[in-house]
Amino acid sequence: MGSVLLTGGTGFIGSHTAVELLLAGRDVVLLDDLSNSEAGVAERIGRIAGRQPPFVRADAADRRALRRVFLDWDIEAVVHFAGFKAVGESAARPLAYYRNNLDSALSLLETMAEFGCRRFIFSSSATVYGERCPVPYREDMPAGDCSSPYGRTKYMIEEILKDAAAADGSLSVVLLRYFNPIGAHESGLIGEKPSGIPNNLMPYITQVAAGLRPRLNVFGNDYPTRDGTCVRDYIHVTDLARGHLAALGFAEAHRGTEIFNLGTGRGFSVLEVVRAFGEATGQPVPFEFAPRRPGDLPEFYADASKAEAVLGWRAEKSLADMCRDSWRWQQNALKQD
């Protein structure tokens, strides 16, 4: 068997996926330009997995660098995590988002065609369902009604990949639509490291618990949900990572494009997450209600039944596990700084 190329391999989801693939006996090559992660992550992946994967520092849109990788290793599949991912920033810098995210997908497809690599697993997002889809989201619902340029880059890349697979019957494309990944590896060695003020809920909560920020702003308490705060499908990043292992196995036996939701199928409100964090860690999270954040949908969660039926995968970890592992990582990350 050849190697699996992980673009964004030292990022949050890429690093956890690298660990799970290595532990399952797969060889991986990590590619990352370190624009939103650190080189030390590659070494820590190796420490957890008991073997060190090769790391290449390069931009996933850089065709010369990609050719080098495909010449140096027998790449049998690509899992494409690399990309800009801040929703708010994408509205301020749309061209940078379209250029960066679309270019890397195209460069990878062109390089794969040149080297006869036929399997492409893509990090997509539940954001492609948009506000018109009823919950729970199912893979066969019409997508594309995204609320940000970031979301539109995900949807556009999905469409590019579908077209590429339709034109080339030997290509196997798997689109994985992630819900809200949180948590960290239970070793406390790898996790999410936002730069600056966190945009996402869990990194903000752990920074409040660590005393780095005075309180959490809960964006909106008048949504039509059970307690007025938004509901999301939070999934442990290790469960999510294992979903990629299952998707790789699927891609080996199939052709064409297949879409899978990677979520738990269960939603929790912001206040439920705050409460679960306090109970799981013993750390209170002071909060106050703040105005709604533009673009937030009241409630969404996955219908996770297709991934279970077809891939034999489902999320196993609880919200308490997610909170404990996020908190352990926050404490470790602080020690490293």
> With b meaning 16 or more CB within 10 Å and e meaning fewer, what string describes 80-115?
bbbbbbbbebbeeeeeebbebbbebbebbbebbeee
Among 31, 61, 218, 247, binds ligand WQD (CB under 6 A): 218
Check if the beta carbon of residue 128 is closer than 8 Å to that of residue 151.
yes
* CB 229, min distance to ligand WQD, A: 7
| Under rule CB under 6 A, residue 155 binds ligand WQD | no
- Rounded Cα distance between 301 and 319, Å, is 14
**Helix 319-336 and helix 201-209: axis angle, to 10°?**
60
Among 127, 206, 261, 326, binds ligand WQD (CB under 6 A): 127
- Rounded Cα distance between 183 and 196, Å, is 19
| Under rule CB under 6 A, residue 85 binds ligand WQD | yes
Length of the chain as a residue count: 337
Total residues contacting ligand WQD (rule CB under 6 A)?
Answer: 18
Is 155 in the active site? no
The site map against ligand WQD for 263-302 (x = CB under 6 A) is -------x----------------------x--x------
- Rounded Cα distance between 101 and 152, Å, is 10
| Under rule CB under 6 A, residue 200 binds ligand WQD | yes
Q: Which is nearer to ligand WQD, 217 or 305 (CB)?
A: 217
Check if the beta carbon of residue 235 is closer than 8 Å to that of residue 179.
yes
Among 37, 125, 257, 281, binds ligand WQD (CB under 6 A): 125
**Amino acid identity for residue 94 in this structure:** P
Selected range binding ligand WQD among 67-75, 99-107, 113-121, 213-221, rule: CB under 6 A: 213-221
Among 42, 201, 248, 285, binds ligand WQD (CB under 6 A): 201
- Is residue 72 within a helix (H) or strand (E), and if so which, with residue range? helix 63-72
Per the residue annotation, which of 150, 204, 223, 234 is the catalytic one?
150
In the complex, which residues of this chain contact ligand WQD (CB under 6 A)?
A: 85, 87, 125, 127, 180, 199-201, 204, 216-219, 230, 232, 270, 293, 296
Q: Residues with catalytic annotation? A: 150
